[in-house]
Homo-oligomer: A and B are copies of this chain.
Amino acid sequence: MTPVIEIIVVGNEILSGRTQDLNAAYMIDRMGLHGFTVRYESVIGDTVSDISEAFRIASGRSNVVLVTGGLGPTSDDVTVQALADAFDRELVLDENVLSHIESLFKRRKWFMSESNKKQAFVPAGAVPLTNSMGTAPGVLLKYDECSIFLMPGVPLEMQKMFDRVIFPRIQEEFEPEHVETASIKVSGLGESAIYDRIGHLPGAKKYFSYYPGTDGIEIKIRTDADAPMAAPQLSAEIIDILGDTVYSSKGESLETVVGNMLIAYGKTIGVAESCTGGYISHLLTNVPGSSAYLLAGVVVYSNESKHTVLGVDNSHIGQYGAVSAKVAGAMADGIRRITGASIGLSTTGIAGPGGGSVEKPVGLMYTGLSTVTETMTKKLQFVEDRLINKKRMSQAVLNILRLHLKKRFELS
């Protein structure tokens, strides 16, 4: 049987956002690799009645409930009490657990306080689970069709207990799903445009997920045994339909793909940025080894620097404005010339929030691409706030570079 799995994270510090929970992500990741999927996750504060209620809800809908946190010795650690309350059990002293805790304190030469004894109590009928790293034992309580596992909240203790004791039990008792996965990254098409083109594919509704980011959209496919087509076949169909807009089926970033193309074709670039403010250079230099093809970048924010650094004709700036195709082209030519790169790239635009007008609204960008044989420019319009605009503009420019390289150098 494939289990319904639920995670409950206990702790005021998590619920208040003071501490980021890492335990849920750890378990989701480990189980996902083996075909076990989590269906519900919740975060509850250190209140006995709230936790009890969460346990009762969970036991009615899940086969495996993985609980972290609230097993410590202090007064705000109430998870065991809440488990006992939820299913009307007494708390009973477990002699084995007590002697484990006592020996741990003796070994560490620490003074054992009364509050530590509390950790040796478990609900009647529950099984304590070894904690090789600390005093708080884990707990397993079976209720109806549901196994509830309590784990400590300290990540290292929790991970050891999960890996060594709990996940092996889950794998022994339950069957994983048969899953296959694929990823396709797309630039230059919106989520709804993608959906309109691939939404008719068999299993699209059930097995496709869309993850929009500043580097385009990632389409994730995860098929199970019931799927009409497996993930790799669906992936091939999607790539066929979406064509040039697909830039990776291996999860790579756009800057990695572009970098690999530049290396493969033996090309170098120089980048002159106005509205993107250095973000294109930042993306390119996120890739180790990018010094092989990025000769230099410049951030020319002022009109004066466009002239002094890149040699853009002041009269062009006067006549057409700094945000114009003419200036974008001259900037791309300029950076190519001063760096000696094979390709010059440029951006000039209005990131916002100020600086817009009716003719040149916020989000307007011109980008230039200069090679020894030609200078191309393109006008694009974005609509977000300053920071998002910078990121989307930068990604759009990298995508233009990618399509240029593809057209020029790939055999068709």
Interface residue ranges, A against B (CB under 8 Å): 12-13, 15-19, 24-25, 28-29, 32, 37-47, 50, 53, 57, 61, 72-76, 108-111, 113-116, 133, 154, 156, 190-193, 195-196, 199, 204-205, 208-212, 220, 271, 273, 277-282, 284-286, 288-291, 294-302, 304-305, 308-309, 338-339, 351-354, 381, 383-388, 390
Judging by beta carbons under 8 Å apart, are B297 and A298 in contact? yes
Q: Given A57-B57, A191-B73, A211-B19, A302–B295 Cβ distance below 8 Å?
A: yes
Judging by beta carbons under 8 Å apart, are B281 and A277 in contact? yes
Q: Taking the nearest CB of chain B, how far is it from the CB of A276, in angstroms?
A: 8
Q: Given A74-B210, A281-B278, A386–B286 Cβ distance below 8 Å?
A: yes
- Indicate which residue in B282, B289, B304, B353 contacts A282 across the interface (CB closer than 8 Å): B282
Q: Taking the nearest CB of chain B, how far is it from the CB of A204, in angstroms?
A: 7
- Indicate which residue in B156, B209, B296, B390 contacts A298 across the interface (CB closer than 8 Å): B296
Q: Given A280-B278, A388-B156, A390-B282, A110–B190 Cβ distance below 8 Å?
A: yes
Judging by beta carbons under 8 Å apart, are A208 and B76 in contact? yes
| 5 nearest CB pairs, A to B | A277-B285, A278-B281, A297-B299, A278-B278, A42-B42
Q: Can you name 6 A-B residue pairings with CB atoms under 8 Å? A: A42-B42, A75-B195, A76-B210, A278-B280, A278-B281, A295-B305
Judging by beta carbons under 8 Å apart, are A113 and B74 in contact? no
Judging by beta carbons under 8 Å apart, are B278 and A282 in contact? yes
Q: Which of A29, A291, A387 has the most CB of B within 10 A?
A: A291
- List the B side residues contacting A76 at CB < 8 Å: 205, 208-210
Q: Given A156-B388, A390-B285, A299–B301 Cβ distance below 8 Å?
A: no
Q: Taking the nearest CB of chain B, how far is it from the CB of A64, in angstroms?
A: 15
- List the B side residues contacting A285 at CB < 8 Å: 277-278, 299, 301, 351, 390
Judging by beta carbons under 8 Å apart, are A196 and B296 in contact? no
- List the B side residues contacting A32 at CB < 8 Å: 16-17
Q: Quick one: copies of this chain in the complex?
A: 2
Judging by beta carbons under 8 Å apart, are B29 and A25 in contact? no
- List the B side residues contacting A211 at CB < 8 Å: 13, 18-19
- Indicate which residue in B12, B72, B192 contacts A74 across the interface (CB closer than 8 Å): B192
- List the B side residues contacting A286 at CB < 8 Å: 277, 386-387, 390
Q: Taking the nearest CB of chain B, how far is it from the CB of A203, in angstroms?
A: 11
Complex: how many Å from CA A204 to CA B309? 52
Q: Taking the nearest CB of chain B, how far is it from the CB of A3, in angstroms?
A: 15
Closest to A310 in B: B296
Q: Taking the nearest CB of chain B, how far is it from the CB of A297, in angstroms?
A: 3
Q: Taking the nearest CB of chain B, how far is it from the CB of A100, in angstroms?
A: 14
Complex: how many Å from CA A252 to CA B28? 33
Judging by beta carbons under 8 Å apart, are B277 and A339 in contact? no
Q: Given A16-B28, A154-B212, A388-B156, A193–B113 Cβ distance below 8 Å?
A: yes
Q: Which of A19, A41, A109, A191 has the most CB of B within 10 A?
A: A41
Q: Taking the nearest CB of chain B, how far is it from the CB of A220, in angstroms?
A: 7
Complex: how many Å from CA A354 to CA B75? 37
Judging by beta carbons under 8 Å apart, are B301 and A354 in contact? no
Complex: how many Å from CA A43 to CA B15? 13
Q: Taking the nearest CB of chain B, how far is it from the CB of A102, in angstroms?
A: 14
Q: Given A75-B199, A384-B156, A339–B305 Cβ distance below 8 Å?
A: yes
Judging by beta carbons under 8 Å apart, are B50 and A40 in contact? yes
Judging by beta carbons under 8 Å apart, are B37 and A16 in contact? yes
Complex: how many Å from CA A390 to CA B282? 9
- List the B side residues contacting A46 at CB < 8 Å: 209
Q: Taking the nearest CB of chain B, how far is it from the CB of A356, in angstroms?
A: 12
Judging by beta carbons under 8 Å apart, are B43 and A42 in contact? yes
Q: Taking the nearest CB of chain B, how far is it from the CB of A255, in angstroms?
A: 11
Judging by beta carbons under 8 Å apart, are A195 and B299 in contact? no
Complex: how many Å from CA A289 to CA B355? 9
Closest to A116 in B: B192
